[in-house]
């Protein structure tokens, strides 16, 4: 097998698919335009980076362009981080301050200017011949890895907070946005770890191993790109963002806890117990949980309580996420239906929709968490 043409073919296909998907994201009609545009930019930047795998010979007058192309990798992770923000938070908007994310990219180009952009043609050619052993390239690697570590950690922290906020404020069990972003970030982390291994081999005598890892990276890029396409086709409305102004319950309650120094105060406890009893009574009588898209804001409006107070009441005093609190009432109602012999003709799917769920997998997971049995097992044991 002629490895070089094979490798170039793989890289070319990956680039083509990435650019086509980017074009689709830029032109498709959707309410989540900013997230789509940021993801399109991310795909384009990665396609430009992958072009380096098969663009290994250049004309003298294109060395500046190749240098600029090489430096663009420092924009990929900032764009991905902004994309995650746009997916997680419906009210996220780009601001002038976000231009600070381009500082590493600008810094590298400043460092490359004396011996590349402003150098003579002969000087540029000499630089590229010894590229892997230049101070500029060492600086590029250190800067790139530092930046990557910063953004990958920031994304995981952001996703952790997003997951908790979602559980504390929403009941719709469809958390595909979190799963998609977490999976994608994990895949990027694994792929980048392989790239680091490849780059370390540059400084060893294992040239054959270096080449085959490059082949593996090219195939991985193609597979990941196809995965992006399948996700876009199968989940055209994948994401549901939340309001960035939402606060974690522990952060809302913290100032109140710090202000309370007398541990023997009984009045707040009595008020809390009364509020919990009133809330449970309202849930049982009015059954707002039958709305599959119920949010903590909507419930707060219905019971005429500030959303911050309701969040603290449920997430702190009752020690439950809003998600679990509401689903508990749904499961209890489902249990009653499953026990009712006159409703034995109802299917599990019909029951889960009747009690406020809109996903069979989420219903089964919540039901088993609450009863240790599947809905079918519970019905069989009750009838």
CATH of the domain at 291: 1.10.10.60
Q: Over 90: is that where the pLDDT of 329 sits?
A: yes
Shared domain for 269 and 362, answered yes or no, is yes
Mean pLDDT of 321-350: 91
C-alpha distance from residue 113 to each of 64, 67, 333 (Å): 10, 10, 69
- Final residue of a structural domain among 234, 262, 281: 234
Q: Name 242's bridge partners.
A: 89
Q: Is residue 246 part of a domain?
A: no
Residue 107 to residue 378: CA distance in whole angstroms? 63
C-alpha distance from residue 231 to each of 15, 90, 166, 224, 328 (Å): 18, 20, 22, 10, 32
C-alpha distance from residue 8 to each of 15, 45, 197 (Å): 10, 18, 21
Mean pLDDT of 332-356: 91
pLDDT tens figures, 212-224: 776 777 777 778 8
The token duo for 278 is: 């009133």
The token duo for 289 is: 């949980």
Q: Tokens 């990798």 label which residue?
A: 73
Confidence of residue 93 (pLDDT cuts 50, 70, 90): very high
How confident is the model at residue 129, as a pLDDT?
Answer: 81
Shared domain for 24 and 129, answered yes or no, is yes
Residue 364 to residue 331: CA distance in whole angstroms? 10
pLDDT tens figures, 268-308: 578 888 889 999 999 999 999 998 888 888 999 999 998 88
Q: Are 366 and 330 in contact (CB under 8 A)?
A: yes
Shared domain for 261 and 227, answered yes or no, is no
pTM: 0.72
Shared domain for 148 and 255, answered yes or no, is no
Shared domain for 7 and 147, answered yes or no, is yes
Shared domain for 320 and 229, answered yes or no, is no
CATH of the domain at 60: 1.20.1070
- Final residue of a structural domain among 234, 268, 302: 234
Q: Is residue 242 part of a domain?
A: no
Q: Average model confidence (pLDDT) for the chain?
A: 81
Which residue spans within 282-348 are E strands per DSSP?
A: none
Domain that holds residue 74: 3-234
Q: For 73-85, give one letter per residue: b (16+ CB within 10 A) or e.
A: bbbbbbbbbbbbb
Question: 228 versus 234: which is more confidently predicted?
Answer: 228
Residue 248 to residue 178: CA distance in whole angstroms? 17
Shared domain for 169 and 72, answered yes or no, is yes
C-alpha distance from residue 303 to each of 46, 49, 147, 196, 313 (Å): 50, 54, 47, 55, 13
pLDDT tens figures, 164-186: 887 777 776 556 677 788 888 99
Q: Is residue 241 part of a domain?
A: no
Shared domain for 28 and 90, answered yes or no, is yes
How confident is the model at residue 266, as a pLDDT?
Answer: 40
C-alpha distance from residue 216 to each of 53, 113, 197, 198, 371 (Å): 12, 33, 12, 10, 46
Count of domains for the chain: 2
């Amino acid at each position: 097998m002629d490895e070089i043409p094979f490798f170039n073919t793989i890289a070319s296909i990956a680039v083509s698919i990435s650019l086509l998907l980017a074009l689709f994201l830029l032109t498709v009609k959707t309410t989540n335009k900013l997230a789509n545009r940021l993801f399109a930019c991310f795909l384009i930047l990665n396609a430009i980076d992958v072009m380096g795998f098969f663009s290994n010979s250049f004309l003298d007058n294109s060395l500046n362009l190749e240098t600029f192309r090489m430096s663009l990798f420092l924009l990929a992770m900032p764009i991905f981080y902004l994309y995650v923000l746009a997916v997680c938070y419906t009210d996220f908007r780009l601001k002038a301050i976000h231009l600070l994310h381009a500082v590493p990219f600008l810094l590298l180009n400043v460092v490359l200017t004396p011996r590349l952009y402003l150098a003579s043609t002969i000087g540029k050619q000499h630089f590229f011949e010894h590229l892997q052993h230049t101070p500029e390239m060492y600086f590029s690697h250190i800067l790139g890895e530092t930046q990557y570590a910063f953004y990958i950690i920031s994304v995981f922290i952001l996703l952790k907070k997003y997951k908790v906020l979602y559980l504390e404020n929403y009941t719709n069990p469809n958390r595909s946005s979190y799963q998609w972003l977490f999976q994608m970030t994990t895949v990027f982390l694994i792929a980048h770890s392989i790239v680091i291994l490849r780059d370390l081999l540059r400084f060893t005598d294992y040239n054959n191993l270096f080449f085959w890892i490059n082949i593996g990276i090219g195939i991985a890029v193609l597979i990941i790109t196809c995965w992006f396409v399948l996700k876009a086709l199968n989940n055209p409305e994948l994401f549901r963002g939340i309001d960035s102004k939402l606060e974690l319950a522990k952060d809302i309650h913290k100032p109140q806890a710090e202000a309370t120094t007398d541990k023997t105060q009984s009045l707040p406890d009595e008020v809390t117990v009364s509020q919990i009893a009133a809330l449970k009574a309202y849930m049982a009588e009015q059954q707002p949980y039958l709305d599959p898209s119920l949010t903590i804001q909507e419930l707060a409006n219905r019971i005429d309580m500030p959303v911050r107070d309701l969040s603290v009441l449920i997430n702190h005093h009752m020690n439950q996420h809003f998600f679990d609190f509401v689903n508990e009432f749904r499961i209890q109602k489902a249990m009653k239906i499953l026990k009712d012999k006159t409703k034995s003709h109802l299917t599990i799917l019909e029951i889960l929709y009747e009690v406020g769920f809109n996903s069979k997998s989420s219903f089964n997971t919540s039901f088993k968490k609450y009863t240790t049995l599947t809905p079918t097992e519970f019905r069989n044991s009750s009838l």
